[in-house]
Amino acid sequence: MKRIPEYFGCMVFNDAVMQARLSAEDYTTLKRTMEHGKSLNLSVANTVAAAMKDWAIENGATHFTHWFQPMTGITAEKHDSFIMPENGGKVIMEFSGKELIKGETDASSFPSGGLRATFEARGYTAWDATSYAFIKDGVLCIPTAFCSYGGESLDKKTPLLRSMEAINRQALRVLKLFGGDDVTSVKTTVGPEQEYFLIDKELFKQRKDLTYTGRTLFGAKPPKGQETEGHYYGVIKPRVQAFMKDLDEELWRLGVPAKTEHNEAAPSQHELAPVFETTNIAADHNQLTMEIMQKTAKKHGFVCLLHEKPFDGVNGSGKHNNWSLSTSTGVNLLNPGETPSQNAQFLLFLCSVIKAVDDYQDLLRISVASAGNDHRLGANEAPPAVVSMFLGDELTDILAALEKDEAYGAKEKELMRVGVHTLPKFPKDTTDRNRTSPFAFTGNKFEFRMLGSSASISEANTVLNTAVAEVLRQFADELENASDFERALHDLIKRVIIEHKRIIFNGNGYDDKWLEEANRRGLLNLKTTPDALARYLDKKNVDLFTTHKVYTEKEMQSRHEIFLENYCKLNGIEAATMVDMARKDILPAVSAYAHELCATITAKKQVCEQVDISYEQGTMQKISALSAAVYENVEKLDALLKSTKSIACAVECATHYKDEVLPTMRALRAAADELEGLVSSKYWPFPTYGDLLFNV
């Protein structure tokens, strides 16, 4: 049996493979392309492609694909074999540099938000040389960006790469002011923690709602849920442990640094966390992780649920996005330093994040908005929909002292000035974690906790990178023109603290009093996806993305349309599924049980007129009233769904779903779930929450 270091990354065309298979000159050229974005000439591309093809074939690959991330939220791939016909009915195996660098695919059926007409089918994929190619299921997968014939971005990777370039440019400007001339690049790094549920595959098949939507649309709370908290970090069941073992091995072969795994708070809920990586690679690896989770689960008789809220009344699943900034010299810019100058540098970058989160709190909320995540945010299991930041008491006190030009700590005599020795090194993890905070500082990184479990991390990090890039641009513009750098730096940090301290909150984000306080502070509470998307095309947001060339205004308009369409489509599928289940499964089952009750009443009366039939009659009365409520709401929901077909405007359609369809769905569910508690389990038409959550 091979040891992990021997097979880790064995399915990846990584740095070690490139060094072994390319000449020193070609390897250096390729690395220059990967690290600095330099163009790759065709002759070198041909050499790289040939080496990549030979390596892939030796490892069992027969096809290649440009692996990309369209606006569907999942990955896409079109497989082409390496074969090339030869005279005599034979074939050879070929793969050119042109095929490596650029591919063409039919883009007509991918979401475009009006960027192109349906009949305009051509789309292009372009190799992202910064992310290693890999072999999956016998196919050489080449990570790529995806754009239209006109050059507009049709994917989630292209804007992410642009945002990484933007923050790199502005961070380098700031670092030069601190003497960081040796730094050649600044990259954002991410470690996304992935939560998920495992349920039995045979039970999954018996529920239309899980099959069609990935979450339960009906389901009464079982006698036991997560009240005892016994599942959290509990002993992992053997069947689940076997799944985790296979999952780790698959991910390690693909170079995904899966590190931590444990039971989460809810029954049948688990988490996997990787080691930090450069953001675009982390995004690729998280997409792979979700795909491999679902494939591996089926091999073990499970289905892996990645929906944000698969079970009502039970903790949902998120994806904590641990984000930081690192230089080419190995310095984490969010890690406080040992010297006064490093302290000052840390404080400036810290303030850049504080200001960015405050200025663009709406965009951060939008970046995690989805129909699924709306069920989770603010549900006392995830951060509220209000964006705020947790810094911890010590760091908050340091900022307060700087704001007031006061001494920090009882022993300090001098007034706080950036760059003087009175500012101590801020140790990592001096305060407790705040799991209720949407955006928490955790020693040398920020944990953005609002992402939904099924989401691509690309959108949230695109917003975060670009927002911080814009603030760093403003800082650099001001400090580069300062006659007294230290005085200007001090005044800048002090001003940012004063103007943006409203975003800092170290308390309980689940407390209703916080929502009142947040409103007094002027923070936004965008509770639903339509509420959030209403601000997406605000001028300040369009200016942000267009200034840093992350999106064009046209690309933003298309995404606004796509986000609204997705919201409507997902809610429409759920509503239609509820109508189908209620009409074909729930009401017939309840009717059958009611028939049995009536037959029992009749039989008892025939035996003895004075017999006690209070149970049957009382249950019948309740069932009759609830059945009527189910039927009434089914008819109303069906009518509302039909009415959506006449709504052409995406904004109006989303509002219709939010204000009319979703409340009716909740009313239908409430009546049906109450019926579940009354109807004999012999008649109930599908597995219950108890079956699903406690049958692993």
pLDDT band at 411 (very low <50, low <70, confident <90, very high): very low
User: Nearest 5°: phi and psi at 6?
Assistant: -80, -30
User: Nearest 5°: phi and psi at 43?
Assistant: -65, -40
Contact 334, 445 (CB under 8 A): yes
The reported pLDDT for the residue numbered 655 is: 97
The reported pLDDT for the residue numbered 430 is: 54
How does DSSP classify residue 22?
Answer: S
The C-alpha angle 608, 614, 616, rounded to 5 degrees, equals 90
DSSP run (H or E) holding 440 = strand 439-441
**Res. 529: pLDDT tops 60:** yes
The structure's pTM equals 0.93
Token output for 238: 């053997």
The C-alpha angle 215, 78, 101, rounded to 5 degrees, equals 125
The reported pLDDT for the residue numbered 109 is: 74
Residue scoring higher pLDDT (401 or 117): 401
Q: What is the mean pLDDT of residues 181-196?
A: 96
Query: What domains appear along the chain, each with residue ranges and CATH number?
Result: 4-155 (3.10.20.70), 163-551 (3.30.590.10), 566-693 (1.20.120.1560)
The count of residues in the chain is 696
- Looking at the chain, the whole-number percentage of residues with pLDDT higher than 70 is 91
Q: What is the mean pLDDT of the chain?
A: 90
Task: Give the tens place of pLDDT for each residue, 574-602.
Answer: 999 999 999 999 999 999 999 999 999 88
d(CA 425, CA 607): 87
Token output for 78: 């079109």
CA atoms in the 13 A half-sphere facing the CB of 384: 22
**Res. 141: pLDDT tops 80:** yes
**Res. 229: pLDDT tops 80:** no
The residues, any chain, with a CB within 8 Å of residue 209's CB and separated by 6 or more, are 215, 216, 217, 218, 574, 577, 578, 581
The reported pLDDT for the residue numbered 90 is: 67
d(CA 237, CA 435): 26
Task: Give the tens place of pLDDT for each residue, 442-491.
Answer: 888 999 999 999 999 999 999 999 999 999 999 999 999 999 999 999 99
Residue scoring higher pLDDT (320 or 114): 320
d(CA 142, CA 126): 9
Task: Give the tens place of pLDDT for each residue, 419-446.
Answer: 544 455 555 555 556 678 999 998 889 9
The reported pLDDT for the residue numbered 426 is: 55
Handedness of CA 547, 548, 553, 554 (dihedral sign): positive
Task: Give the tens place of pLDDT for each residue, 14-35.
Answer: 999 999 999 999 999 898 888 7
pLDDT band at 417 (very low <50, low <70, confident <90, very high): low
